[in-house]
């Protein structure tokens, strides 16, 4: 049975979301072993850090609580990042997930199911994997925490994505990303039912439901470098996700009256250190940028392309060279075993429709390195002075005759144009 609290206008007060959490906590028995699967710090607006900290505070005295951030292919969180996100939880309580080495196969999604889910555009079986700690039987409860928000691979993030990608393995990560690229990112983002979600639903029905995982899902909006919580949903059934999606569609999709010739986005350096994550600025704005326009990404913390060495070297080799080039390379077998990188390179290219410029720190990301992968580059210093992102709210601006649309937190939304499909 789902328990929840939601508001469409004013945000939930602390006592409101804590009351929902206390209702669930009251069902936990003394001595239970609990594994919590929250996102990492790249989802800093998710409220998952606060929820995880509250669960630990209330349960750790009588239960064994372990926390394994669902990092997917991202790098492991540093101790400082864990403290910033989760508070002062002892290091011994944290487990780590390695997507290459820590998983076991749980089921195969048959080729015919994949073909049906993708409308015949993709035909091959996919192996689903999960981290061994989830499967070991050691824990009495598995709790998956995450934010429901428009997403470039699955349509609406979280729910079973937190498992099959966040603590999953190579094949599902690779193929789900590639499917989204083949089916078209702009047809997927912001939608609950997508090709990848249908594949995840198959795995849930045929395996995940046996694990009786509790999902704690949030719907949030950015506010003054923090976030407001508008919806909090706890349950085991899919309606938990569907209910969150309905609110996220209202709170996290912004409809503009026209396409912008220029969009400027801000990437908090505490959250974004790579284009693998930072390109959410590309994905979430691409449907709102005019042909021939420009996306300027203010990214003082960008210092790499991939979140791991394998992906980083692949991006450096091929660059954001456009859909046709990457698809040809893929069809020639050049992305075997790392299809996720091919998908990322397709997602991150405008295919020449608009210009993508990263404003970066030359000490962290030199101009020649950024340009070598196909993006424009400019020095972050003058751009910070010109656009002053830290004190600016999302919206339309005009400066010396230049009109632009500024987005303070691109990762927590999707921008589209009214009247466009």
The H-or-E segment that residue 24 falls in is helix 14-25
If asked whether residues 55 and 137 sit together in one domain, one would say yes
Q: What residues contact 275, with CB distance under 8 A and at least 6 apart?
A: 302, 304, 305, 315, 348, 358, 373, 375
Residues 61, 146: one domain? yes
pLDDT at 225: 60
Whether residue 177 sits in one domain with residue 296:
no
- Report the CATH number at residue 114: 3.40.50.11440
Domain's final residue, options 251, 285, 303? 251
Tokens 């209702």 sit on residue? 23
| 217 and 345 inside one domain | no
Check whether residue 244 and residue 260 sit in a common domain. no
CATH number at residue 355: 3.90.226.30
Within this chain, do residues 183 and 281 fall inside the same structural domain, yes or no? no
Are 119 and 107 in contact by the 8 Å Cβ rule? The answer is no
Strand 395-399 to 402-407 pairing: antiparallel
Q: Which element (helix H / strand E) includes 124?
A: none
- Greatest pairwise CA separation for the chain in angstroms: 65
Predicted structure pTM score: 0.92
Other Cβ atoms closer than 10 A to 153 = 26
Beta strands 126-131 and 214-223 are: unpaired
Residue 275 shares a structural domain with residue 401? yes
**Residue 328 structure tokens:** 């040809």
H or E element, residue 275: helix 275-278
Closest CA to 305 of 150, 84, 75: 75
Which residues in the chain land under pLDDT 70? Answer: 224-225, 421
E runs forming strands in 2-154: 3-6, 33-37, 64-67, 103-109, 126-131, 141-147, 150-151
Please state the domain count of the chain: 2
User: What distance in Å separates the CA atoms of residue 216 and residue 209, rounded to the nearest whole number?
Assistant: 15
**Distance separating alpha carbons of residues 112 and 229, to the nearest angstrom:** 40
Joined tokens for residue 249: 């569609």
Pair (147, 267) in one structural domain: no
- Full residue range of the structural domain in which residue 123 is found: 3-251
- CA 216 to CA 37: how far, in whole Å? 10
Close Cβ partners of 324 (under 8 Å, ≥ 6 residues apart): 351
Final residue before a domain boundary, out of 236, 251, 266: 251
Model pLDDT for residues 206-236, shown as the tens digit of each residue: 999 999 899 999 999 987 567 899 999 999 9
Judgement on whether residues 236 and 270 belong to the same structural domain of the protein: no
Q: Which residues contact 27 (CB under 8 A, 6 or more apart)?
A: none
Instruction: Find all residues with CB under 8 Å of 123, minimum gap 6, and list them.
Output: 111, 114, 115
Same domain, 174 and 271: no
Is beta strand 289-298 parallel, antiparallel or unpaired with respect to 355-360? parallel
Which of 188, 219, 251 is the endpoint of a domain? 251
- Exposure string of 336-372, with b = 16+ CB inside 10 Å and e = fewer, is eebbbbbbbbbbbbbeeebebbbbbbeebbeeebbee
Pair (48, 174) in one structural domain: yes
Structure tokens at 229: 């919580």
* Co-location of 173 and 273 in the same domain: no
């Amino acid at each position: 049975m789902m328990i929840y609290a939601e508001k469409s206008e004013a945000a939930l007060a602390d006592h409101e979301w804590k009351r929902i959490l206390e209702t669930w906590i009251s069902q936990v028995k003394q001595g239970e072993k609990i594994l919590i699967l929250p996102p990492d710090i790249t989802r800093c607006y998710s409220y998952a850090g606060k929820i995880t900290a509250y669960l630990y505070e209330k349960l750790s005295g009588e239960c064994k609580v372990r926390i394994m951030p669902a990092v997917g292919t991202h790098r492991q969180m540093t101790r400082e990042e864990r403290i910033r996100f989760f508070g002062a939880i002892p290091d011994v309580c944290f487990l780590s997930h390695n997507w290459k080495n820590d998983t076991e196969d749980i089921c195969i999604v048959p080729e015919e199911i994949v073909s049906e889910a993708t409308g015949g555009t993709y035909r091959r079986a996919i192996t689903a994997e999960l981290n061994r700690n989830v499967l070991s039987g050691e824990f009495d409860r598995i709790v998956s925490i995450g934010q429901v928000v428009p997403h470039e691979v699955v349509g609406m993030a979280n729910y079973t994505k937190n498992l099959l990608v966040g603590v999953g393995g190579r094949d599902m990560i690779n193929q789900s990303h590639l499917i989204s690229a083949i089916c078209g990112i702009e047809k997927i983002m912001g939608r609950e039912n997508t090709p990848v979600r249908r594949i995840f639903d198959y795995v849930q029905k045929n395996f995940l439901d046996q694990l009786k995982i509790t999902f704690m899902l949030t719907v949030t909006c950015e506010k003054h470098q923090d976030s407001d919580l508008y919806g909090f949903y706890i349950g085991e059934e899919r309606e938990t996700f569907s209910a969150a999606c309905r609110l996220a569609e209202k709170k996290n999709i912004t409809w503009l009256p026209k396409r912008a010739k220029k969009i400027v986005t801000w990437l908090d350096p505490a959250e974004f250190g790579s284009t693998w994550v930072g390109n959410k600025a590309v994905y979430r704005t691409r449907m709102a940028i005019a042909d021939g326009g420009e996306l300027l990404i203010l990214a003082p913390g960008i210092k790499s392309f991939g979140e791991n060495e394998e992906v980083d070297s692949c991006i450096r080799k091929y660059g954001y060279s456009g859909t046709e080039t990457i698809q040809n390379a893929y069809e020639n077998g050049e992305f075997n075993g790392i299809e996720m990188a091919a998908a990322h390179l397709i997602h991150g290219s405008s295919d020449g429709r608009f210009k993508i410029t990263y404003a970066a720190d030359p000490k962290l990301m030199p101009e020649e390195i950024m340009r070598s992968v196909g993006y424009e580059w400019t020095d972050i210093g003058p751009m910070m002075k010109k656009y002053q992102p830290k004190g600016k709210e999302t919206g339309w601006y005009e400066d010396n005759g230049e009109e632009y649309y500024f987005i303070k937190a691109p990762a927590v939304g999707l921008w589209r144009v009214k009247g466009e499909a």
